[in-house]
Amino acid sequence: MKYTEEHEWLRVEDDLVVVGITEYAATQLGDVVFVELPEEGLEVVKDDEVVVIESVKAASDILAPLDGEIVEVNTALTDNPGLVNEDPTGAAWFFKMKLEDMSAMDDLLDEAAYKALIE
């Protein structure tokens, strides 16, 4: 698992990466009540706003962690946004991306670096 400073996690699954938000981020957001997902097939560049997530407290954006194409989104979140709080690093993945360049993953934070960031 790799991490961004924006509190996203990325997990490699075959030739794709699965993206979600960390437990820390989910706790900070509070109860999630709305998730708006991008369209499948969307080409994104790093830091594009791709997902809107609203908690009882506020709206936030989730940014594209790297350049690539959104190939699949987790529609279960649309009907059950609370999954983000229940299982942020499992069932509540947001989208799967085909990266422009898989080696860009190397520049992301590893678990130890992410843990240091949130401490």
Partner 1 sequence: MAEELNRLPLHALHAELGGKFVPFAGYEMAVQYADGVMAEHLWCREKAGLFDVSHMGQVLLPPDQAQALEALVPVDVLDLEVGRQRYGFFTNDDGGILDDLMIARRDADLFLVVNAACKAADIAHLRAHLGGVQPVEGRALLALQGPLAEAALTRMVPDAAAMRFMDVAVMTWQGAELWLSRSGYTGEDGFEISLPAENAEAFARALLEMEEVAPIGLGARDSLRLEAGLPLYGQDLSPGISPIEARLGWAVSKARRADGARAGGFPGAPRILAEMAGGALRKRVGLRPEGRAPMRAGVPLFADAEGGPGIGVVTSGGFGPSVGGPIAMGLIDSAVPDGAMVYGEVRGKRLPAAQVAIPFYKKTYKR
Smallest distance from the beta carbon of 9 to partner 1, in angstroms? Answer: 21
Smallest distance from the beta carbon of 106 to partner 1, in angstroms? Answer: 33
Place of tokens 């009540």: 33
Smallest distance from the beta carbon of 34 to partner 1, in angstroms? Answer: 5
Give which of 23, 27, 84 is closest to 52, Cα–Cα. 84
Q: For partner 1, which is the closer residue by CB, 12 or 59?
A: 59
Residues that bind partner 1 (CB under 8 A): 30-31, 33-34, 36, 52, 54, 56-57, 59, 78, 81, 85
Phi/psi for 62 (5° steps) reads: -110, 130
Q: For partner 1, which is the closer residue by CB, 50 or 108?
A: 50
What 8-state DSSP symbol labels residue 89?
Answer: T
**Three-state DSSP state, 117:** helix
Q: For partner 1, which is the closer residue by CB, 34 or 76?
A: 34
Partner residues linked to 70 by β-bridges: 97
Give which of 97, 35, 23 is closest to 65, Cα–Cα. 97
Q: For partner 1, which is the closer residue by CB, 4 or 55?
A: 55
Smallest distance from the beta carbon of 14 to partner 1, in angstroms? Answer: 32
**Three-state DSSP state, 15:** coil
